[in-house]
Amino acid sequence: MKKTLCLLFALLMVVGLSASALARELPKLLLSVEDGSLTLTLEDNSAARSLLSQLPLTLTFEDYNGTEKIAYPPEGLDLSDAPESCDPDAGTLAYYAPWGNLCIFYQDFRYSEGLVPLGKLEGDMELLTAMGDGFTVTLTPEAEMTPEVAAQSQDSGERVLIAYFSLGQNADDAGDVDATTSASLLWNENQMVGTTEYVAQLIQNDTGGQMHCIETVHPYPTEFNAVVDQNHEEAAAGFLPELVASDLDMAQYDTVFLGYPVWAGNAPQAVYAFLSQYDLSGKTVIPFCTHDGYGAGGSYAGIASAIEGETAVLDGLAIEATDVPESEDAVLAWLREIGVQAASNDSTETKITITIGDTVLNGLLYDTALAQEISRYFPLTISAAGFGGREYYGVVEFYPENWEGGQTVFENGEITYCEAHHNMAIFYAQTDDPILSVEVAPIGKVTSDLTVFDNLPEHVDITFAMAE
Ligand SMILES: Cc1cc2nc3c(=O)[nH]c(=O)nc-3n(C[C@H](O)[C@H](O)[C@H](O)COP(=O)(O)O)c2cc1C
């Protein structure tokens, strides 16, 4: 049943993604080692929930101080709603925020600032204490997580998708657009971007979400009136243009920002094609649009009624095109108003760029010792080759000291380092079928739309650099 929920309920849902006001039952975790497993009861705090959102995880632990076993999760944990200290006993799992490592205490230890409690282990601690350095522990939920718990466990920004349509990416000869065309392009972070894409990037900056550009197979004309005519015809006929195929896995996201230029008082038909193609039920959808002075028109209602299932559609944001270059504060204020926390305020992730030919992608570098070490070689160009329709990888010439082991799964967009093959890679597809034969350690992720990787030649130079 189609359902647009009232703002109050919608606000509660989104606030629920980032606040701990609601009582929650988090699942128990299993910590599996070679000879058995222990059970972990999680604390109800944001750090524990963001650990949960990273599962399953295989981490390599080493002994520290004869007191604890430590390992580094691929992403820093969310400290926004977590205690800043604790007094650990044997069996405490904690996160040492200053260094970003997990600690399993097998000895009692003193009260420590910066030590965030994550949970309590039950079972035979000998399984861990008997291990020397470099043993692997796999963390999984003991039982399958319910969708509600999965949503609660997410870190703000981690499961956010920002899907947008912009004429600049969808018009013939968009690079040459001038005053005769409707595709208004702006400079943002050394790139020419469409007006709506610009706003999408501002939302990305504040939420850390994944960008997805909605692209039609057949580009729209360059000339304004021709686009207007084509749009009228498409809207009148209820025609849904074919979209460029993509590996977008909607199941990975709980919150979907949906951006578009207002066309004839509504969203372009390409946006409706997107809505017909992906299952948004159970998600929170947040429209945003740019326009030339007439506002969002009927687009919010149109989007709400096009979505099947139990979906919360929040109040959107409409920005006049001329205001877009100065709209950062308005975007931030709106995100706060609708209850979406600005992830970057708390985030310790560092912005980077990934340049492939003329294309500059945005990305984030994780706050891990390995990532920080590798970033010291930036700007770093790797000569990369495509592999298996899922990744581009290239050998590097340094040997990081902070390799702590990795994992044999990946998320689309992840930038990884692999010790065994001594290379870095960007994974862009097949996260649902990650058949990796060697361990890779995620050091960051590409946050720009990933479709650029679908059309790259077999060999490309990829340059990683710190964003200015
Ligand atoms: C076919 C078409 C129809 C449009 N209709 C409207 C409209 O109804 N109201 C409005 O304010 N702007 C309208 N515009 C202007 C765009 O919404 C505005 O320029 C937008 O910021 C362009 O964003 P983009 O660069 O991301 O494509 C229209 C533009 C086009 C191309």
CB 421 within 8 A of CB 393: yes
The whole-number pLDDT of residue 348 equals 59
Name the band, by pLDDT with cuts 50, 70 and 90, for residue 274. Answer: very high
Q: What are phi and psi of 446, to 5 degrees?
A: -85, 125
| 50-59, 160-169, 241-250, range with the lowest pLDDT | 50-59
Cβ neighbours of 6 (radius 10 Å): 8
Q: What is the mean pLDDT of residues 307-327?
A: 89
Torsion angle of the four alpha carbons 391, 396, 398, 402, in this order, in degrees rounded to the nearest 10:
0
Rounded CA-CA distance 166/195 in Å is 7
Nearest CA to ligand 1 atom 17: 291
Please give the distance, rounded to the nearest whole angstrom, from the Cα atom of residue 2 to the centre of ligand 1: 28
In whole angstroms, give the CA distance from residue 324 to residue 196: 8
- The mean predicted confidence, pLDDT, of the chain is 84
Over 80: is that where the pLDDT of 244 sits? yes
Q: Tell me which residue has its CA closest to atom 18 in ligand 1.
A: 291
> What is the whole-number distance in angstroms between the Cα of residue 169 and the centre of ligand 1?
14
**What is the whole-number distance in angstroms between the Cα of residue 145 and the centre of ligand 1?**
43
User: What's the CA-to-centroid distance between 259 and ligand 1, angstroms?
Assistant: 12
Q: Which of 453, 458, 417, 459 is nearest to 438 (CA)?
A: 417
**Is a pLDDT exceeding 50 seen at residue 151?**
no
Place of tokens 């709106």: 334
Report the DSSP pairing between strands 350-356 and 185-188: unpaired
CA distances from 439 to 364, 408, 434 (A): 21, 5, 11
Q: Kindly give the distance from the C-alpha atom of residue 195 to the centroid of ligand 1, in angstroms, as a whole number.
A: 10
Domains 29-144 and 160-342 share a fold: no
Determine contact, residues 281/311, Cβ cutoff 8 Å. Answer: yes
CA distance 273 to 268: 9
Q: Which CATH number fits domain 160-342: 3.40.190.10, 1.10.645.10, 3.40.50.300, 3.40.50.360?
A: 3.40.50.360
How high is the pLDDT of residue 310? 78
Give how far Cα 53 sits from Cα of 19, 143, 158, 177, Å: 15, 14, 9, 43
Is residue 193 pLDDT above 70, yes or no? yes
For residues 148 and 282, the answer to whether their CB atoms sit within 8 Å is no
pLDDT in tens, 369-396: 999 999 999 999 999 999 999 999 999 9
Please give the pLDDT value at position 453: 94
CA distance linking residue 273 with residue 306, whole number of Å: 10
Does the CB atom of residue 291 touch ligand 1 within 6 A? yes
Task: List the residue whose alpha carbon is closest to atom 29 of ligand 1.
Answer: 263
CATH architecture of residue range(s) 29-144: Beta Barrel (2.40)
Structure tokens, 167: 């004429």
Average pLDDT over residues 428-451: 88
Q: For 94-137, what is each residue's pLDDT tens digit?
A: 999 888 899 999 999 999 999 999 999 998 888 888 887 788 89
CB–CB of 103/70 below 8 Å?
Answer: yes
Domain edges within the chain: 29-144, 160-342, 350-466
State residue 21's pLDDT score.
27
The dihedral region occupied by 400, where left means phi > 0, alpha psi between -120 and 50, and beta the remainder, is beta
From 192, 193, 224, 292, the mutation candidate for ligand 1 (largest count of ligand atoms within 8 A of CB) is: 292
Count of Cβ atoms closer than 10 Å to residue 87 Cβ: 12
The finding on whether 259 has its CB within 6 A of some atom of ligand 1 is no
CATH 2.40.100.20 given to domain 350-466: yes
